[in-house]
């Protein structure tokens, strides 16, 4: 039997032990709390830093932000030089070639435009119904499709070659291990060393896509995570599609020929929805084509369309190959 004094001492020891236990738990909770706060602040810091870096990673993006991204619906192809002088290019099948110094620009192998190199960027603006081939100063070839805009340095200095694209283009990139080539769009950046690929990034589409014919590319995009950028490497024969609403990327094996065919004056479709075909034709020919029937929008078409033909002849080919009907209302085609 414990004496009253011993019971009292034992009770005090138990109380002291319990108090110490809860004090330790409280201290641990405080430590965990402060660690969590510190981690959150650190993540927020790097997230802000990443966001700023992603959005303002180069002088090129800053230049695009300042000069704007408008694309004329009508008119001629326009070359905007570094002093903001505009050169109208009226030829039917225009091409421009830069000298290795960037100081001279040859238009259709005849007209030579000279420019200073004080400010380093030029812009090509292609309205609907037009296209152009560009050879950049380091040898990369670019075919720019209707309704597109390409901004690029006159000469590529530094450790990378970087261009900014709105619309659609095919790139045949000059190989250079020491100076990788980047195509920057509003949705993602594409890194290449030397390869051939198509990029489609129109502002009125809800996706950006890359179809790779040769070589390999790394695509860095704004993923669904708030904090980090995601990436995907693709190989030849792959189509990568980024949904700019869901912020998700997908890829699948395809015949990339149809994504390159417009460069050669053809559209190749395989089970393509009619509303997608009509949108491409509207851009290419700079005409309005409307589909009134929701059912017809979902109808698919497979075949080749010769873009050297007039839009009227192309519409007749579609009519004969499907069950659609259309009428021409003062140059506007209405499908019903």
Contact yes or no for 336/326 (Cβ under 8 A): yes
Parallel, antiparallel, or unpaired: how do β-strands 161-172 and 148-153 relate? antiparallel
Q: Which residue has the higher pLDDT, 198 or 293?
A: 198
Tokens of 215: 């070589």
Is residue 105 a contact partner of residue 115, using CB atoms and an 8 Å limit?
A: yes
Residue 13, pLDDT > 60, answer: no
| Residue of 145, 133, 136, 190 lying closest to 169 (CA atoms) | 145
Q: What are phi and psi of 81, to 5 degrees?
A: -80, 175
Residues 216-229 pLDDT 10s: 999 999 876 655 56
Q: Tokens 């002849």 correspond to what residue?
A: 313
Give the integer Cα–Cα distance in Å for 142 and 144. Answer: 6
Question: What is the H or E stretch that residue 67 is in?
Answer: helix 59-67
Percent of the chain with pLDDT over 90: 56
- Look at residue 196 and tell me whether its pLDDT is greater than 90: yes
Strands 229-234 and 238-243: unpaired
At 12 the pLDDT is: 61
Bridge partners of residue 166, in order along the sequence: 149
Give residue 94's pLDDT: 92
Angle at alpha carbon of residue 142, lines to 141 and 144, rounded to 5°: 160
Using 50, 70 and 90 to split pLDDT, how confident is the model at 33? very low
pTM of the model: 0.80
Residue 61's nearest CA partner among 183, 154, 143 is 183
What is the number of residues in the chain?
336
pLDDT band (50, 70, 90) for residue 19:
low
Q: In this predicted structure, what is the pLDDT of residue 234?
A: 95
Instruction: List CB contacts of 256: < 8 A, sequence separation 6 or more.
Output: 198, 211, 212, 213, 236, 237, 238, 239
pLDDT of residue 61: 80
Average pLDDT, the chain: 83
Q: Predicted confidence band at 110 (pLDDT cuts at 50, 70, 90)?
A: confident
Structure tokens at 156: 């590529």
Structure tokens at 250: 């997908």
pLDDT at 37 over 50: no
The C-alpha atoms of residue 228 and residue 273 are separated, in whole angstroms, by 35
């Amino acid at each position: 039997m414990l004496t009253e004094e011993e019971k009292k001492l034992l009770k005090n020891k138990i109380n002291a032990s319990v108090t110490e236990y809860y004090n330790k738990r409280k201290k641990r909770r405080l430590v965990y709390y402060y660690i969590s706060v510190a981690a959150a602040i650190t993540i927020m810091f790097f997230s802000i830093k990443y966001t700023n870096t992603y959005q303002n990673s180069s002088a090129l993006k800053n230049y695009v932000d300042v000069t704007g991204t408008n694309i004329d619906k009508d008119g001629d192809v326009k070359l905007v030089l570094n002093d903001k002088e505009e050169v109208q290019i009226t030829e039917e099948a225009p091409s421009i070639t830069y000298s290795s110094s960037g100081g001279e620009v040859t238009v259709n192998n005849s007209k030579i435009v000279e420019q200073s190199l004080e400010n380093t960027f030029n812009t090509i603006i292609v309205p609907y119904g037009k296209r152009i081939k560009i050879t950049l100063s380091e040898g990369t070839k670019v075919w720019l499709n209707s309704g597109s805009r390409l901004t690029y340095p006159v000469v590529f200095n530094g450790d990378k070659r970087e261009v900014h694209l709105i619309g659609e283009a095919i790139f045949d990139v000059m190989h250079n291990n020491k100076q990788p080539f980047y195509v920057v769009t509003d949705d993602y950046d594409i890194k290449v060393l030397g390869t051939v690929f198509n990029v489609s990034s129109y502002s009125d589409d809800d996706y950006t896509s890359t179809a790779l014919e040769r070589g390999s590319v790394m695509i860095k995009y704004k993923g669904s995570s708030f904090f980090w950028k995601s990436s995907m490497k693709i190989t030849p024969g792959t189509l990568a599609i980024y949904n700019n609403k869901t912020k998700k990327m997908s890829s699948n094996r395809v015949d990339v020929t149809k994504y390159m065919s417009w460069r050669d004056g053809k559209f190749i479709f395989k089970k393509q929805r009619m509303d997608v075909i009509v949108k491409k034709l509207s851009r290419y020919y700079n005409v309005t084509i409307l589909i009134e029937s929701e059912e017809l929008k979902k109808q698919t078409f497979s075949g080749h369309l010769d873009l050297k033909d007039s839009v009227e002849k192309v519409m007749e080919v579609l009519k004969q190959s499907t069950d659609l009907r259309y009428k021409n209302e003062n140059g506007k085609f209405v499908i019903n």
